[in-house]
Amino acid sequence: MGGALARRRDQVLDAAVEVLGAEGARRLTYQAVDQAAGVPTGTTSNYFRNRAALVDGIAEHLLALERREWAALTAGPAPVGPGELAAAMAAFARHAAGPGRARTAARWALLLESAVRPGLRAPLGRGRQAVLERSTEWVRRLGSGAPERHGRILVDHLEGVVMRQLAFPEGAFDPAEEIRALVGGLLAGPEGGARSEVRGEVQGDATGGNAD
């Protein structure tokens, strides 16, 4: 596909993500996407001959967008303590429920559709896997004795708080404190295996003072 055609296709898919996320699956029509993209009527149907093809295209496009966003949000040094880890994950949650709200809602709409269209699970699963790998690596660096399990628990919690914010918006949304408590509990628990300095930070966070 030539450069101009590829750019127009991306333009259509950007609009399709916005329509799906902002207006829901029932509003995902060729006409709605054409209007949102600002392209001539019939453009979307030229690229995607049926709704299933359009939804598949959205899933792959969303995966690429989320990978770029996640890479940008995690481009800095790895967190060196529970507080920094909580701050990084809270920043991701605020972005997903704020500026990235439409994309997040579109992803959840696709997850629901994957219950009846299993073929969607592969691209959606690859997006989740990228987040899981980073979360697992972060808790491993903090001394977790069960990093895969702890990384999955953190991602599950992160997805839950984002969904809660989408469904029941709070004016001041900042899940950092509850994520910090969760990280501290995981690292200090029987499977924590945390280094002594990490345990000290967890205790300091809990008491509001220094670990010393």
Alpha-carbon distance of 175 to 164, in angstroms, equals 11
Alpha-carbon distance of 177 to 47, in angstroms, equals 45
The pTM score is 0.81
What torsion, rounded to 10 degrees, do the Cα atoms 180, 106, 116, 169 define? 50
Which parts of the chain sit beneath pLDDT 70? 1-2, 191-212
Assigned architecture for domain 1-49: Orthogonal Bundle (1.10)
Alpha-carbon distance of 21 to 67, in angstroms, equals 18
Q: Per residue in 47-91, pLDDT tens? A: 999 999 999 999 999 999 888 877 777 777 888 888 999 998 998
Structure tokens at 99: 């500026």
Per-residue pLDDT, 1: 61
Cα–Cα nearest to 161, from 207, 97, 80: 97
